[in-house]
Structure 1
Amino acid sequence: MTPGSVRTVLVGGHESADGEDLTRFAGLLDAPAQVSAAGRTLDRAVSDALAAGETVVVVPMTFGRNPTMVADAAKTLRWLAAKNPGRLALTAPFGQPDHLTAWLRTAANRARASDSGDALLIVAPRSNPFDEAELHRLAYLVAANGALPEVHVAIADDAEEVDRAADRVRRVAPGRVVAVPAGFAAHLPGADVEQVAPLMSDAAVIRVIRSRVREALAALAAGDDGIDTGLAADHGHGYAHSHTFEATAGHHHPHGGAAPHMHADGTVHAHGHGEARLVAAGREPVTAASHEPHI
């Protein structure tokens, strides 16, 4: 560790086997970097770097399907940031769900062959019902706008489960089944199925990480460490809840319609209720389909 340098910490959750799938990226970054899971491991990693005099930028490595991990990371960093003002930042998440949709559509294009009966099998490990349900929603969008007529999801932790899922797909759509990981895995477990993996090239992942770090350092210099935004990342995630008590207790938070999304170059911005006005005016809103990433 070098005093005065900037250290990048990549935080992983269920989309990266709690960080194991991120280790190959740490060595590709220009600045010092390391991988951590959320919680105590993150606390130790950041505390050690701060004690060595480094500035630390934490990147939540999620495609938007694990907002709880982002919020948990922010809770860990909140106390450390108070003791080290101006030296710790939390970036925006690596990606958003519409970005994942676009990359899965790209995978469908890569998997497409002359046989119109081909099917795409999107594979992710078990996590929780809400994050798994989100993947099913995104798969529907891929099927509605993608290159293959059949798109299915497999929640699977090993090769045997992937094989069983592929067999189920073949019963519905006999033909070629191609599997793709829905996270940062370089490859899927050694199942008896064709693969298009990884989902994103290492170079593309590195470009986005660098963009996130650059944006976070600029915001930190302007007085925003990103932690308050991260604390609210999982608001509205999970079961619906009432705000009746919160309103009487003076608790307020926004419920805007803006949905942030990421372009292939790593930039993020949001479109709010203006999209509805664009549709009413006969113009198309900006969607993930119109920002498909380039490989």
Structure 2
Amino acid sequence: MDEHDFLAERFEAHRTHLRAVAYRMLGSLSEADDAVQEGWLRLSRSDAGEVENLGGWLTTVVGRVCLDMLRSRTSRGEESLEVHVPDPLVSSSEGIDPEHEALLADSVGLALLVVLETLAPAERLAFVLHDMFSVPFDEIAPMVGRTPTAARQLASRARRRVQRTASAPDADLTRQREVVDAFLAASRGGDFDALLAVLDPDVVLRADTGAGLVGVSQVLRGSRAVAGQALAFQRFSGFARPALVNGAAGVVTALDGQPLAVMGFSIMRGRIVEIDILADPERLRRLDLRVLGD
């Protein structure tokens, strides 16, 4: 085995971890893969023999790449988009796809990723690397051009935002599925009162349609508004198929083999508190939904 092949083998041992870091940083599967590939390119151009802790070195490199990508989004004004639902990880309702297990090791639900999208790039980096991957602030500080104390403050601000905003969903997957099935049944039956019964009074619905070919991107708040929207799309509810969306009960709606939407649900105390819908045709085409079968 030559030096290049040996280096590639060492890199592959860290790929899954690096992709998990990048997915949490970017909320985009394709961009996460791009960031990991850039990590490989930088490693292949470096003197790897001088790297004592390859895993730590690669985590730092990929973290920097992701930070640059987030800052580039900001400079292009992408953060001004009213609604953006991160890329969901969709698995069969029978169980999580093996390729997704590492990406979901910390129960990274769509609701959490949505909150991470609201953080400033440096805050997101500090929180993700420290709180999710235990990277010391001494290593994070130079990445964000701050002192370790300032990096700790960045993570602390992000943590408060996450704790204040992100819901802690019920863990019982069977109960989750019962609530989602009740929501779909009420939608199919046009039963407004039954919808209200499974929706939290302060439920939030986010619908990201991208190009707007299916409806309009929007955020709805409150059970009556969300129930009304569910009835408006009653004709599509019959095409909903059960799936796991970021490890939680969700659905994929497809018509004639073409996916129309992926819906993720956050459920607390037996009621739906958040619904995140990705209905952007272009992004749906990039998702691997083969795991759901025909």
Task: Name the TM-score class by shorter chain.
Answer: under 0.3
TM-score, normalization: structure 2? 0.26
